[in-house]
Amino acid sequence: MRTRTGIAALWVGLCAVAVTGFLPASAVAERAPAAPPAGLTESLEQAVADGFPGVVAYTRNGERESRVAAGVADTASGERARPDHRFRIASNTKSFVSTVLLQLEGEGRLSLGDSVEKWLPGVVRGNGNDGRTITLRQLLDHTSGIYDPTTEPEFFAPYLELHDRDHLYTPREVVARAVRHAPAFAAPDHGWEYSNTNYLLAGLVIEAVTHRSASAEIRRRILEPLGLKDTSFPLTDPVVRGPHLHGYDLEGQDVTRFSPSYDWTAGAMISTVDDLARFHRALFGGKLLRPAQQRELLTTVQPDGTPVAYGLGVQRMDLPCGSGSDGRPPVGVWLTDGGGPGYTSYSFTTVDGERQLVIALNVYDLGADLKHQAPFPLSKGILKAQTAALCG
C-alpha cells in the first residue's frame, strides 16, 4: 500500500534521526551462491532484536548471489524464516504494472500521452476531476492529483474495526470513492502526490487495451517469460499460499489473512526475494522494454522535500555510505518498495546494475500508518543492511 513517498525514504529519515525482448526463463543463468556481504547477517539479526519477528534478504554483487534469513516466519509455531518464503509485496506491484503499460506503448497499442478518458470514458469525472486532462504518464508518476481513499481510516474500517479480513472492494468502487474528492492540486502536472488510485486506473487501462485481465497480462508478459514461479497475483483470496512469512502488526497480532482486493494493481501481488531480484535485474537491465520506453521508465520527477525521485513505478535515490568523513560517496540506486498489512519490503538495484538488495520483513501496522505513525519497528539494522550489500 504505502500511502506516502516510499518505505526506503522513510527508513533514511527515521534512522538518520536515530525492444531487446523478453529474457526467457531458460536463458537466466544460475549463479553459484556466495557468502553474504560482511555485516549483512548481523544487520538482519539486529532488525530481529529491534522488533521484527523475521527478515529475509537476497543480495547480488556481479554474479555472486547470497541469501540470508533471521528470526521466525511464524511466531505461533516458531518456524524459522527462510529466504524462499513468500510475502505480500504491496507497492512493489507498481513496477510490474508500469512495465506492462510501457510494453503496450512500445507495441504501438497506446501512448503514455493518451488521456485517461480515451481508455476509460466517464470514469474520472466530477468534483474537479477530469480524465480528459490526465494522461497515462501522469498516473504512473503520481502527478495526476487524483485522491487516494486508502489514506482514510474509514476505508479500512471493515478490516480493522469490524475484523472482516475477507472484505472485498472492486477497483472501480475504489476509483468511485476517489473522485468524490477534489484533486490534490489545481491541474495535473502541477504537483506530486502518491495515490494508489493512479495504479488502479492503470490496471483498468491495461484491461481496456488488451481485453484481458491485468493479472493475466502480468503473468503472460513478465512472470512466465522470467520464470517467476513463486510470484502470484491474487484478486480476492485473503490467504498467502505456499511457504510464507506470516505478517504482523506492532502489537504482534497476526494479520497474514487480508483481502488483497482493495490494492489490486496498486499492490496485491505476492512474491519472494529471489523473484523480485530476477524481475528487477531484467527490468533495470533493459531486458523487458524497448529503449524509448526504458528511458520513459527512468525519467523522474522530484517531490519537494524528499530524497526520492519518482519514475514510472520506480524510484531513484542516493544512499549514504559511511559517515561522509570516510571518503565513501553515496551510491545511486533504483528501487521499489512496499508496505501493507503485515509486510514491509524493498528492492534496490545500483544504477550501474552491479549490486542488488531485496529485503522483506514481517511487520507493517496499517492502523499506525493511518495515524501517520511509524508502521514498523525503528531499526538501524536496515540501514546497515543497505550499507553492507550496496556500498561495498
Mean pLDDT per 10-residue interval, the chain, length 392 residues: 52 45 42 82 97 98 96 98 98 98 98 98 97 98 98 96 96 98 95 97 98 98 98 97 98 97 98 98 98 98 91 95 70 97 97 97 97 94 94 82
CA 208 from chain center: how many Å?
23
C-alpha distances (whole Å) from 228 to each of 197, 273, 275, 356 are 26, 11, 5, 17
| Contact by Cβ (8 Å): 317, 11 | no
Look up the pTM and report it.
0.93
pLDDT of amino acid 306: 87
pLDDT of amino acid 11: 53
| DSSP state for residue 388 in the 8-state scheme | I
| Contact by Cβ (8 Å): 144, 125 | no
CA distance 262 to 264: 6
pLDDT of amino acid 86: 98
| Contact by Cβ (8 Å): 337, 91 | yes
State phi, psi for 225 to the nearest 5 degrees: -60, -35
Helix (H, G, I), strand (E, B) or coil at 182: coil
Q: Where does the chain show beta strands of DSSP type E?
A: 54-61, 64-71, 87-88, 125-126, 129-130, 270-271, 309-310, 315-319, 331-340, 343-350, 355-361
Q: Closest Cα to residue 171, out of 113, 215, 230, 219?
A: 215
Q: Please enumerate in sequence order all residues whose Cβ is within 8 A of that of 93, keeping only pairs 6 or more positions apart, or say none.
A: 199, 233, 263, 265, 266, 267, 268, 269, 338
pLDDT of amino acid 34: 78
CA distance 198 to 149: 11
Q: Return the ∠ at Cα 103 (arms to 312 and 220), rounded to 5°.
A: 115
Q: Please list the helix, strand and coil fractions of the chain in percent, rounded to the nearest 5, in that order.
A: 35, 15, 50
CA distance 66 to 313: 26
366 grid coordinates:
496499517
Q: Please enumerate in sequence order all residues whose Cβ is within 8 A of that of 31, keeping only pairs 6 or more positions apart, or say none.
A: 60, 63, 64, 65
121 grid coordinates:
470514458
CA distance 271 to 140: 22
pLDDT tens for each residue of 256-297: 999 999 999 999 999 999 999 999 999 999 999 999 999 999
pLDDT of amino acid 24: 40
Single-letter code of the amino acid located at 212: R
C-alpha distances (whole Å) from 297 to each of 18, 107, 207, 253, 363 are 33, 15, 20, 38, 30
Catalytic residue among 43, 66, 91, 261: 91
pLDDT of amino acid 4: 47
State yes or no: is 144 an active-site residue: no
